């Protein structure tokens, strides 16, 4: 049985429409084309569809397929991602070093993923910003458009932001922003947009920063997630305050405080409260 037929059968088995399956992953038209065998989906897309359909990749490809043999690499990359999200770079470094043989056999998207992680470790583990930049820039040139390339571009921007070379960082963030597609993961897009906003704010480009912030807010609100919502609200308040719209800024700061409080982020709630108190006193004067 072909992949498209298996997707259709499983979708119907769990009473899921094409629209339900595609939501937040790709277009409904793409699902239709896959099921009609008009296009062969990438493994990255298949991983997302398998997760939505609550089956493993083995369900579609079989235990002895090449795709199935990639499962160990895929599991490792997911584990590495989890620790990257928590900025646990020592653990990431251990995982990379202890799975060197497996990583050397990785090809395609998996191979590029581990090369990206290697570039991050040059900076966050070794403290070599220039080596990280050279590695990431070279890697980005080898990649096709997609979510991973978006992350690499974001990482390059972050490296230049760290070096306070804001004009170059801005060019990379803008490049990533122009790559956005509806099928891309909203969290990856939100991260780039937040970093883009920070870069613009650092250059006193408050109007441009607000434009990106509002788009970031629209994105996370549309997804009904708190992910980076507090951060976007903070930069909304920051830019409004710099533009002398202090009452609106105070409102945004209070909203940010609420989000950070819900997330039990004590560090940010304390910082936000100090900002709110300061601005509140200024408005009374």
pTM score = 0.75
Model confidence pLDDT, tens digit, residues 68-85: 445 678 888 889 999 998
pLDDT at 1: 53
Buried b (16+ CB within 10 A) or exposed e, 17-40: ebeebbeebbeeebbebbbeeeee
Residues of the chain short of pLDDT 50, as ranges, are 63-69
State phi, psi for 42 to the nearest 5 degrees.
-70, 160
pLDDT at 51: 87
Rounded Cα distance, 254 and 118, in Å: 39
Model confidence pLDDT, tens digit, residues 141-194: 999 889 999 999 999 999 999 999 999 999 999 999 999 988 899 999 999 999
pLDDT at 61: 64
Instruction: Please report, for the chain, the start and end positions of each structural domain, with discontinuous segments joined by +.
Output: 3-65
pLDDT at 189: 96
The second-level CATH assignment, the architecture, of 3-65 is: Orthogonal Bundle (1.10)
| Spatial contact of 236 and 210, defined as CB atoms under 8 Å apart | yes
3-state helix, strand, coil in the chain (%, to 5): 75, 0, 25
Residues contacting residue 215 through CB under 8 Å, at least 6 positions apart: 193
| Spatial contact of 125 and 90, defined as CB atoms under 8 Å apart | yes
| Helix ranges restricted to H, 185-265 | 186-202, 206-222, 229-242, 246-262
Buried b (16+ CB within 10 A) or exposed e, 184-218: bebebbbbbbbbbbbbbbeeebbebbbebbebbbe
Residues contacting residue 55 through CB under 8 Å, at least 6 positions apart: 10
């Amino acid at each position: 049985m072909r992949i498209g037929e298996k997707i259709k059968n499983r979708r119907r088995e769990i009473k899921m429409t094409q629209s339900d399956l595609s939501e937040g992953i790709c277009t409904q038209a793409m699902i239709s084309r896959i099921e009609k065998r008009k296009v062969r989906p990438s493994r990255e897309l298949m991983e997302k569809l398998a997760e939505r359909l609550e089956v493993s990749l083995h369900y579609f490809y079989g235990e002895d397929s090449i795709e199935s043999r990639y499962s160990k690499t895929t599991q490792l990359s997911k584990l590495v991602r989890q620790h990257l999200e928590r900025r646990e770079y020592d653990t990431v470094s251990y995982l990379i070093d202890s799975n060197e043989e497996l990583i050397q056999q990785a090809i395609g998207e998996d191979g590029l993923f581990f090369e990206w992680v290697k570039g991050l470790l040059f900076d966050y583990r070794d403290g070599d910003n220039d080596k990280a930049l050279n590695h990431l820039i070279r890697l980005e040139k080898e990649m096709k458009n997609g979510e991973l390339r978006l992350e690499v571009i974001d990482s390059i921007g972050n490296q230049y932001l760290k070096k306070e070379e804001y004009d170059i960082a801005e060019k990379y963030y803008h490049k990533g922003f122009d790559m956005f597609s509806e099928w891309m993961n909203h969290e990856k897009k939100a991260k780039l947009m937040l970093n883009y906003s920070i870069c613009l704010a650092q250059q006193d480009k408050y109007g441009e920063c607000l434009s990106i912030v509002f788009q970031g807010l629209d994105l996370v609100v549309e997804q009904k997630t708190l992910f980076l919502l507090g951060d976007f609200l903070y930069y909304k308040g920051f830019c409004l305050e710099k533009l002398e719209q202090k009452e609106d800024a105070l409102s945004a700061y209070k909203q940010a405080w609420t989000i950070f409080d819900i997330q039990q982020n004590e560090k940010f709630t304390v910082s936000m409260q100090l900002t709110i108190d300061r601005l509140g006193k200024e408005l009374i004067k």
